[in-house]
Each structure stands twice: as C-alpha cells, then as structure tokens.
Chains A and B, each alone.
Chain A
Amino acid sequence: MRFDRIRFDRILGILAGAATLWFAPAHAADEIVVGFATAASGFMQAYDKPAQDAALIRIDEINKAGGLLGKKIKPVFADTKTDQAEGAKAGLAVLDQGAELVIVSCDYDFGAPAALQAQAAGKVSFFLCAESIKAGIPGVGPSSFSASVLAAVQGATMSEWAYNKKNARTFYRLLDSWTVYNKGICDGFDWQMPHLKDAKLVGSDTFKNDDASIASQITRIKSLPKEPDAIMLCTMMPGAVSAIKQIRAAGIKSMILNGSGVDGSYWLNAVPDLSNFYVPVQGSVYGDDPNPKVNEFNKKYKDVTGGDPSSQYVYPGYVLIDVWAKAVERAKTTDAAGVVAELEKMNNEPTLFGPRTFTKDLHHQNQGRYLIVDTEAGKPKVVDQWTISEKIPVDYLVSK
C-alpha cells in the first residue's frame, strides 16, 4: 500500500524534475558549433561512428590551422539510438546547443528525422554517407546534402567499366531486395545498360539478404547456355558474404560486380581465394590509393582511433566537413542561405576522395570518380579508376 500512495506523486515529481534539467548550455561567440545527431548505440553505430571519426579528424585539422572564419569549430553530439523518433530529438538537441551544421546518420531512413528538424530550423544538414537520392532536396529540403555518391552511380560505374575495360558483353542482374541502397545500385545498372552497345542482359533475379540459400537463383544462372561475362550483384552486408560464397561454390566463374557496400577485407576470409571480384570505392583502405594523401589520412585515422579504416564509408565524413568548411570560408558566414549558395557553386570541387559537384537540383553526386578494387586470390587491390561518361539524370533517379 505504501507503494501505491507515493507512486502517483513520484511520477509527477520525476517528470517535473526532469523538465528542469533541460537547459541548453550557451556557447561562446568565438565558436562555430557543429552538431552530430548520429547513432552512438544500435546497429547504425557501426556505420556512423567511423565516418564521424573521419569528420572529427577534419575538424581537428581545421582548428589546428587556425579555425574557420577565425573561430574554432566545436562538435556537439546527440545519440539517435538507431531510432527515428529519437533521431528527431537528437536533431533538436544539437540545434538547441547552437549547431550551425547538423550532421545526421548514414542511412536516409534514420538520418531524415534529424535532418527535417534542421531544415525546419533553417540550418544546413549533411548525411554522413547516405546514398539515396532522397538524402537531400527530394527527401528533406533545399538545405540538405549528402557527402557520399549515389548508389546508382556505383552500379552504372561498374557496368560501364566492365564493358570498356573487361570486354563484358553479357550481364546477369542479381538483386537483393532488402534495402533501398541495393535497389539503387541495380537502378544505376539498369540505366547504364541501354547505353552500352551490344551489351545484353541475359537474366535477372532477386533474393533477400537473409535467405539462407540462393540455390534456385544459382540454378537459373547455371542453366544459361553460356556463363554470363559479369554478374551485377546488388547487395550488402551481412547477406552478401553468403551469396558470394554460394555463387563461387557452384563453380560460376563470371566476374562479380558490386556496390561499395561490400568494400573492406574483414569478411574475405569467409570466402577463401575469392577472385574476379570488383568493388567501386571512393578511396582505398588497402594502403595503395593512387593519392598519397589518402594513405596519410589512413595513418592519421589509425593514430586517432587505434584501427585502420574498415571500409570506404569512413571517407565521406571527412569530405563533408571539407566541403562545408570551404563553403563557409567562401560565403564568409555560417548562415544556411550563404553556405547553400556556395555549395551549389561547387563544380568538380577536388577533395581527397574524388571531386564533388552540387547544383540547385541535386545535393548529391550523380557522377563521380571511383577507384576499382579487384580482389584476386583473396587479396584486394586498386587496379583502375573510372568516371561514368554521362551523369545519371535526376528525373530518372527521383522516379525510382
């Protein structure tokens, strides 16, 4: 009974108490606040943390070089807990701390709630590494950007490169319909195919990331009169490993083309001696990037975090701060209108990890330089680089 009587008052008491705890700390005038509304727990943390670390490295470099507009950049953080409703709150929390730039989760679905809050507050938002066309104007609004390159560009790049450099003429399209990212890769491939003269799509199939077996899909590939030159595999971790293993175990030797989602060597020992396997990356984590500055960055990343970058998804975080800071310097203000205008003027702006272009219609990359990583006998290595010959039209991307 004792419990009954106090409970009611206690609930109210706690609520009132909690309410008084909420006071936004004022920030000093000689600081520019950058807010990270990203996942520090939950599954998105695995994607957000590495890119965020890279962003912090760039912030540190800028601060050491004298800051931005003579002010130091001060990062503030709020955890989205890999939850959409929490994401919106995290966005508000960093805005309340005076964030001029709101950096949101890698994935569109999880980043959008925070980005929408930033948009409503008239601030610039950047997705750490989202690769959907929605991560920007169509899905958030005119002050939202993404630091990565569209998934569709990956599919388009791989097919055009394989056609030109590997003489691939027959393609097989295998889509894992689990995520929008996977579909994006295949959308780019679909757009590219009609542009490749004599290239033929000999078959198309789908599976789901968590399918234990893709035996029936493999049977259909095996029953083709001739093994296709290339298989466009639109998938991501963790299901990718199993699919790749099964394809190779069935004796299919066709080259496998992928999106960047399978970059990294952490899983390669699960498919021993994997060969003829190609991945597009913005920068190489294998220490053989043609740009020595990328290798320097990798070293710095290891010094700061204690480990090598696990995949290319570290890099967009660095690019993000880089292009934003440049835009702020040029606009001489952190106001959204000025910064957005300067960002939209960027045309093939060089960054460590490939050029960036933003326009009034697109705050994302519909064309981009990719390094091609070839894995032979289980060893990944950069063998080439490729930029698709034509930009993928925005209308096509939005309609998908």
Chain B
Amino acid sequence: MSRPPSVIRQTIVTPIILIVVLLAMAALSYQFGSRAFNRTAIEMFINIMVVVGLYAFVGNSGLLSFGHISFMCLGAYMTAWLTIPPVMKSITLKGLPAWLLHTQLPMWVATPISGVFAALFALIVGRIIMRLSGIAASIATFGLLGVVNNVYSNWDSVTGGQGSIVGIPPTMNVWIGWLGAAVAIVTAYLYSISRSGLALRAARDEEVAARASGVDIVRERLVAFVVSAFIIGLAGAFYAHFLSIVNPGSFYLRTTFITLSMLVVGGMYSLSGAVAGVVAISVLIELFRDLEKGVSVGGLTVGLPNGAQEIAIGIITIVILIYLPSGLTRNREFSWRNWPLQRRRLVPPVQTALKETN
C-alpha cells in the first residue's frame, strides 16, 4: 500500500498559483499602468495582505472578527514611530519614550518589528478574547477595535490624536507590494497546513469531536489570532509607507467592513477565496471609477454620477452572495488538478458528523 502524498505535496500549488498570478498582475501594472493605476495595484496588494491575514484567523477558526483592523493600526503607528526622522518626531510626538524618539530605522527593519508588535499585542488580548466562542468572541473583537481606535485617537502626545502624523518615507512600489502579499500568502498557507491550523479547522467543523480528540481549542485559536495579527501588522506598516501619513480614522469601521466583505465575497474558508475576493472587488471598484470619470463615445462623454461606484459595489456584493453564498471560490482552493478550482478534500462537516454517528 503506497503512502498518501504529504499535505504539502497536495496543497503547495495553491500558494504558488496565487503568488505567480499576482506577480503577473504586478508586471502588467508596472509595464502598462499609469502612476495612479500602479497605486491602485499596490493598494490591492496591501488589501490582499489584510484579507489573507483575516483569513488566517476567520477561515481557520470559523469565528468572524471585527477587530483585526486594530492590528493594522498598531503596525502602521509602530512603523511611523520607527521611521519618521527624529527631528520631526520631537516636535509632534513629544510623549514618545526617548529611545524611540531618537530611533530611525529603514523600512526593512521597521516592518517586521511592526508585525511582531501587533502579534505581541494579539497574544496578550487574545488570551482573554479567545476564551469566548461564537458571537460573543466576534463582539469582543469589535470592542477591541473600539478601544484601540479611541486610545490612538486621543493619546495626543504619542499618536498625534485625531490628526495625521506625517514623515513616513514613501518607499513603496508595485514590487514591494507584491512581495508583501507573497509573504502574507506564504505565512497564512504555512499556518493552515501546520498541526495547529489543521487542529483548528477540525474544531471549526466539528467542535465536540475535535475536543474529544484532544484539541485545545482556546490555544489553537490564540495561535491563529497571533499569526493573523502579525500578517495584518505587516500590512499596516506597508500602508503607512504607501500613504506616508497615518491617522486613526483610516483603521476603523470602513476598512473593517470592506476587507471583511472582500473575504466573504471571495470565500472565507479558503486562501484562494481571500485573494480572489480582493482582486475581484478591487477590479470592480476601478472599473466603476472609470465609468464615473466617463467614457468617450464618438466625442460624447458618457459617465455614471459620482458615488455610483459605492452603490454598485454594494449591489454586486449582494448579488454574488445570493448566487454564491460560499463566495466566488465556493471555499475551494486553486489547484492544477481540475483547473482552476479543486474541491477541498474536506467533506462537508454535517455529513461527517452524521456518518460518524451512524
């Protein structure tokens, strides 16, 4: 009897496909896109980081989180503190500790630190929140978002309060954006095939059985929470370099809901879904933005009224969810076999339970 192929052998194509397709997009954008279009591409890559980070937690644990954008906030501000020239910091951010006030690190050092900072924070708060389950946990994460936003909006001497802090070096281009997305995808992939990831997915699909098999659900959720916070912290750092100004308003409800809807539209239980959701929504947004600007037809410019894009995206999201409630990818992963989508090897959970009881 031959051994079944290892988990990696079975699943490694998914991240490879995703990364290569994104690389192709980056190359197309770099080659043919205007500067504004390239920024759209970078924004899409950063959104991929966020949504893939969300997937690492939501997809594997099955718990919806409304609080992950607070990790983006933590990462972005940490990057701001580490990369803004000390001369500027000493005027606007007087409350920073002296060692931080006099530090200026390059992006390649500051970004991982920002990710680790967000992960550490997640480790501390996650120890409490992850004990909750179901909707209680989701609401608790929402509370987390509110707390972080309020602290960052009002701690004037350290965060600059409601206002923006400026001076983050604008070191961002399509290739770096792509690299960030690739790192996020690889991290989320490695987590999901790890022992912890598999155990957590088992608990997601069949909690009682997983517990009976010795899965410590609270612990595995915490691991997922920390991993996703790390990825989203990195995304926050990228976002800070992308915009070169940060303010707490960027990391609140609007971002929370747009990224969650990207995940849900793509298919929240698959990595391919996370990436596809971002790409699909970003492309649609761009398309409608162009239509708003107007298309010339024989010397006449026809355009949608301003604001039509937001309405259209809302409607399209609803329509997608009506016809494909489990998202564009139907929670499956991209793979060579059965191109482009392969059915997940997991049998639907309810059936499993029934079969086992029978």
Q: How large is the interface on A (under 10, 10 to 19, 20 to 34, 35 or more residues)?
A: 35 or more
A18 neighbours in B (Cβ, 8 Å): 37, 283, 286-287, 290
Q: Are B28 and A19 in contact (CB under 8 A)?
A: yes
A20 at the interface (CB under 8 A from B): yes
Candidates A81, A88, A132; contact of B163 at CB < 8 Å: A132
Across the interface, name the chain B residue whose C-beta is closest to A132.
B163
A299 at the interface (CB under 8 A from B): no
Stretch at the interface among A105-113, A220-228, A251-259, A280-288: A105-113
Candidates B37, B43, B243; contact of A22 at CB < 8 Å: B37
Q: Are B161 and A116 in contact (CB under 8 A)?
A: no
A398 neighbours in B (Cβ, 8 Å): 91-92
Q: Are B170 and A40 in contact (CB under 8 A)?
A: no
B249 at the interface (CB under 8 A from A): yes
Candidates A21, A41, A95; contact of B306 at CB < 8 Å: A41
A237 at the interface (CB under 8 A from B): no
- Once bound together, how far apart are the Cα atoms of A183 and B161, in whole Å? 11
Q: How far is the CB of A121 from chain B (nearest CB, A)?
A: 9
Across the interface, name the chain B residue whose C-beta is closest to A140.
B166
B346 at the interface (CB under 8 A from A): no
Q: Are A109 and B164 in contact (CB under 8 A)?
A: yes
Across the interface, name the chain A residue whose C-beta is closest to B254.
A83
- Once bound together, how far apart are the Cα atoms of A177 and B242, in whole Å? 28
B40 neighbours in A (Cβ, 8 Å): 89
Q: Are A40 and B306 in contact (CB under 8 A)?
A: yes
A383 at the interface (CB under 8 A from B): no
B244 neighbours in A (Cβ, 8 Å): 113, 116
Q: Are B163 and A89 in contact (CB under 8 A)?
A: no
B250 neighbours in A (Cβ, 8 Å): 84
Candidates A3, A15, A23, A85; contact of B25 at CB < 8 Å: A15
Candidates A23, A85, A90; contact of B43 at CB < 8 Å: A85
Known contacts A85-B242, A180-B161; A22/B340 CB under 8 A: no
B280 at the interface (CB under 8 A from A): yes
Interface centre among A14, A15, A41, A95 (most CB of B within 10 A): A15
Q: How large is the interface on B (under 10, 10 to 19, 20 to 34, 35 or more residues)?
A: 35 or more
B36 at the interface (CB under 8 A from A): yes
- Once bound together, how far apart are the Cα atoms of A205 and B272, in whole Å? 53
- Once bound together, how far apart are the Cα atoms of A8 and B328, in whole Å? 10
Q: Are B28 and A16 in contact (CB under 8 A)?
A: yes
- Once bound together, how far apart are the Cα atoms of A84 and B286, in whole Å? 16
Report the number of A-B residue pairs with Cβ-Cβ less than 8 Å: 114
Q: How far is the CB of B358 from chain A (nearest CB, A)?
A: 30
B340 neighbours in A (Cβ, 8 Å): 4-5, 7-8
Q: Are B36 and A4 in contact (CB under 8 A)?
A: no
Across the interface, name the chain B residue whose C-beta is closest to A180.
B163
Q: CB-defined interface of B319-348 with A at 8 Å, one 1/0 digit per residue?
A: 000001000101000100000110000000
A21 neighbours in B (Cβ, 8 Å): 290
A15 neighbours in B (Cβ, 8 Å): 25, 28, 279, 283
Q: Are B306 and A79 in contact (CB under 8 A)?
A: yes
Across the interface, name the chain A residue whose C-beta is closest to B160.
A180
Q: Are A109 and B249 in contact (CB under 8 A)?
A: yes
Q: Are B166 and A96 in contact (CB under 8 A)?
A: no
Q: Are B35 and A92 in contact (CB under 8 A)?
A: yes
B32 at the interface (CB under 8 A from A): yes
Q: Are B243 and A19 in contact (CB under 8 A)?
A: no
A42 neighbours in B (Cβ, 8 Å): 307
Q: Are B164 and A88 in contact (CB under 8 A)?
A: no
A270 neighbours in B (Cβ, 8 Å): none
B317 at the interface (CB under 8 A from A): no
- For the complex of A and B, 3 pairs with smallest distance between CB atoms: A180-B163, A41-B306, A41-B307
Q: A7-B328, A24-B34 are in contact. List 14 more A-B contacts (CB 8 A).
A: A11-B276, A11-B283, A16-B28, A19-B29, A22-B32, A41-B306, A42-B307, A79-B306, A88-B243, A89-B40, A92-B39, A113-B244, A138-B91, A140-B166
A-B contact pairs, 26 of them (CB 8 A): A5-B340, A7-B340, A11-B279, A12-B25, A15-B28, A18-B283, A18-B287, A19-B28, A21-B290, A22-B34, A42-B307, A81-B309, A84-B243, A92-B34, A92-B36, A108-B163, A108-B164, A112-B166, A112-B245, A132-B163, A134-B164, A134-B166, A177-B154, A178-B162, A180-B161, A398-B91
